[in-house]
Structure 1
Amino acid sequence: MSAEDHAGHEQQQVAVYDRGAAIEQSDAFENPGLPPHRPRQTDLHPEKERRAERQVVGWFLVSMLGTVLAIVAYVAVPIVEGDMTSVRLSNLFLGLAIALALLGIGIGGMHWARQLMSSHEVVEERHPSRGSEKSRARAVEIFQLGDQESGFTRRSLIRNTLIGAIALVPLPAIVLFRDLAPAQDAVEAISNTMWRQGTRLALDPTGTPIRAADVTIGSAFHVIPEDLKDLDHDGGYLDQKALASVLLVRVPLDRLNEQPDRAGWSYDGIVAYSKICTHVGCPVALYEQQTHHLLCPCHQSTFDVTDHAKVIFGPAKRPLPQLPITVDDEGYLIAQSDFTEPIGPSYFERLHHIDEGHIPLSAAETENRA
């Protein structure tokens, strides 16, 4: 085959034809190129450039003002309990002020990009994810060029007001979220419950005291302090219930594996443990009668009732706090004291709130329980 015939054969192989139309198809398209650059008014007139710069600064200052107004509105327009008008006014002024703060940054940034940053269109060719040292050095050069074109370093007034607006805009959120914490010390608020010496164990939610004789083997009772029924919802009923909720279970005495220093914490096989999971605080409310295991429905942490609610499965790291109980002269179950350690998930200060005076604890056990 001659060279001319071979070239013709290769050309036939690359060409694609639409059957029936005999029109040559090609995946290639013509490069349209970039449109000619059209200078803006700020590129042609220095006074308009300065005016645009002042406008950008003005929008960033408006953002700062909105941030300050949000904090002022939160303090000056408090929510009055039972007054829906105060709720609406507080939400209105807070929303307007925060919207002003965010819009100031957004509009100022867009105005800066449209009027003052470089408007030349560029094409960046694709390249491998890890370029050569030469291309990486070029990237640094391009970054520096972008800084020069945007004027971020050169336009110090715009840069500083932008930084100020961004630094101030989170302040309303900090003020609002900080006010969600209890007025008292947060650690102290969850370190103690309503359980006291002599407090009767009562059914949840009726508040009926529980006799030891009514607790049969394999049964489980959701328990609250008897005094809880005296609180109303405005007096902290739900908060105290969340802290003091207990699960009461009776197991055969031969199955109960009690440590000698905790032998007096149960009564005739009846044990009481906090319902608040030590993982993330979900209610541990599922009881398996055959295995005597308590199961947390959220993340499947499993606790052994017969062995001081020891963790046998799941992400929880500590046993459920045990409530020491006994009976009074009338046969009703009562608490010997409050929990000897804080209920619920761990936190940094937990070690300092373990009641070592109630029962001696070794250093290793204190560390494990914390």
Structure 2
Amino acid sequence: MSETGSHDNVSDEKLPSAQENGHGTVATADDPFADPGMPPHEPRVQDVDERAAKRSERVVAMLFTASMLATVGFIASFVAIPVDKFVYIWPMGNIGALNFALGTTLGVALFCIGAGAVHWARTLMSDHELVDERHQVAAEPDTRAKVMEDFRQGAKESALGRRPLIRRTMFGALALVPLSGVVLLRDLGPLPEDKLEHTLWAKGKLLVNENTHEPLRPEDITVGSLTFAMPEGLDEHDEDFQKEIAKAALMLVRLEPEDIKDKRELDWSHEGIVAYSKICTHVGCPVSLYEQQTHHVLCPCHQSTFDLSDGARVIFGPAGHALPQLKISVNNDGFLEAQGDFEEPVGPAYWERRA
């Protein structure tokens, strides 16, 4: 009985009120989880001491200035440090100096902007707690007006207008950081200018067999065969071999002259031997499959098909235009030679391509 009576006495008592604890609200037995409210606002040292506020302003400006300097360091590193230079960094060992410098300077630039913004908000912007009730997603006009008023009030309390040093250094840091991304465009390489429109082929250049590295004679090309050639003077051990062969690769096919339908193709050939770029005009794959009866060549990547008896025009597949032809003849020594470069750029079309 005594236990029951004790329990009843407790249940009838009012729980300690939040107001008594300084929170301004009351918790009762019926509502033991009442909102305790906000604690009393305590001013920061910067709110009461202008010298402390100035110190915080200088710290924020210093961080923004450090971000600007780091961005300049990023650009300078990108320009000055060779891509093949390595440095020893403990405990990582030997790493690329350029990557290390770019990562460090860009990281410092971004960190200082973030740290400056956080320090600014925590020490100089208003820190008065605001309480607002939840509202529907579709706000009423009065609510939207209040939001705009709150925004204007927040902008005013940020003291951006009264802190020109912060404003200028922040704008400077934000203006310079995007330059880090702009200079990275250099890695896309220099502008091609007209390099894509020319190959190593020129008047008098001998046609050299890709496999034997020997100059080709007309009798080396038999009807029904497909022979691959490259310009004389191009060595597979050269540093630029892959870049040059990707543009100059040539395929030779001997047709019966009466089977050639295109008159210009016949004029540019020698005894039925026609020479066309080996580079597919779709995405640049090497055309390498030849069908003797139809005189068609097929690109194995996406099945673009070209008719070598009719100007190498496209008869099937996604290729956009015919294979460029190389005009050939025979020199006094009986070797096949080019009469110039391809009339148009080889490979896929590109936006700078001239009509």
Query: In 2 relative to 1, CA 32–215 (structure 1 residues): closer, same or farther, beyond 3 Å?
Result: farther
Instruction: Tell me which residue corresponds to 1:195.
Output: 201
Deviation at 1:194, TM superposition (A): 1.0
Select the residue among 137, 146, 151 that pairs with 1:127. 137
Instruction: Tell me which residue corresponds to 2:285.
Output: 283
Backbone CA RMSD of aligned residues = 4.1
**Which residue identity is paired with 1:306?**
S
Provide the TM-score with structure 2 as the length reference: 0.68
Instruction: Tell me which residue corresponds to 1:318.
Output: 321
Select the residue among 220, 224, 230 that pairs with 2:226. 220
Superposed CA deviations along residues 96-130 of structure 1, whole A, max 9, x for unmatched, are: 323322222232233334444555465654525xx
1:266 has 2:281 as partner:
no
Query: In 2 relative to 1, CA 140–271 (structure 1 residues): closer, same or farther, beyond 3 Å?
Result: farther
CA distance in 2, matches of 1:31, 1:214: 98
Q: Percent identity?
A: 41
Provide the TM-score with structure 1 as the length reference: 0.66
* Structure 2 contact 53–124 (Cα < 8 Å) conserved: yes
SS at match of 2:235: helix
What are the residue-to-residue correspondences of 1:1-370 with 2, within 5 Å? 36=38, 41=44, 44-47=47-50, 48-78=52-82, 84=86, 88-117=96-125, 120=129, 125=135, 127=137, 144=152, 147-148=155-156, 150=158, 155-175=163-183, 177-178=185-186, 181-182=189-190, 186-204=192-210, 207-229=213-235, 232-233=238-239, 236-251=240-255, 253=257, 255-258=259-262, 260-279=263-282, 281-287=283-289, 289=291, 292-295=296-299, 297=301, 302-313=305-316, 316-329=319-332, 331-347=334-350, 349-351=352-354, 370=355
SS at match of 1:267: coil
* Structure 2 contact 284–348 (Cα < 8 Å) conserved: no
Query: In 2 relative to 1, CA 31–178 (structure 1 residues): closer, same or farther, beyond 3 Å?
Result: farther
**Which residue identity is paired with 1:209?**
P
CA distance in 2, matches of 1:325, 1:133: 79
Deviation at 1:64, TM superposition (A): 0.6
Superposed CA deviations along residues 301-359 of structure 1, whole A, max 9, x for unmatched, are: 554433323344555543332222233455543212111223344455533xxxxxxxx
CA distance in 2, matches of 1:150, 1:311: 66
SS at match of 2:194: helix
Superposed CA deviations along residues 225-244 of structure 1, whole A, max 9, x for unmatched, are: 121028621xx323322221
Question: Which is greater in Rg?
Answer: 2
Deviation at 1:255, TM superposition (A): 4.8
* Structure 1 contact 40–115 (Cα < 8 Å) conserved: no
* Structure 1 contact 203–209 (Cα < 8 Å) conserved: yes
Query: In 2 relative to 1, CA 54–339 (structure 1 residues): closer, same or farther, beyond 3 Å?
Result: same
Which structure dedicates a bigger proportion of its chain to helix?
1
More displaced, 336-345 or 47-56? 47-56
Deviation at 1:63, TM superposition (A): 0.9
* Structure 2 contact 206–215 (Cα < 8 Å) conserved: yes
CA distance in 2, matches of 1:221, 1:31: 89
* Structure 1 contact 219–250 (Cα < 8 Å) conserved: yes
Deviation at 1:141, TM superposition (A): 5.1
Deviation at 1:32, TM superposition (A): 8.6
Deviation at 1:168, TM superposition (A): 1.6
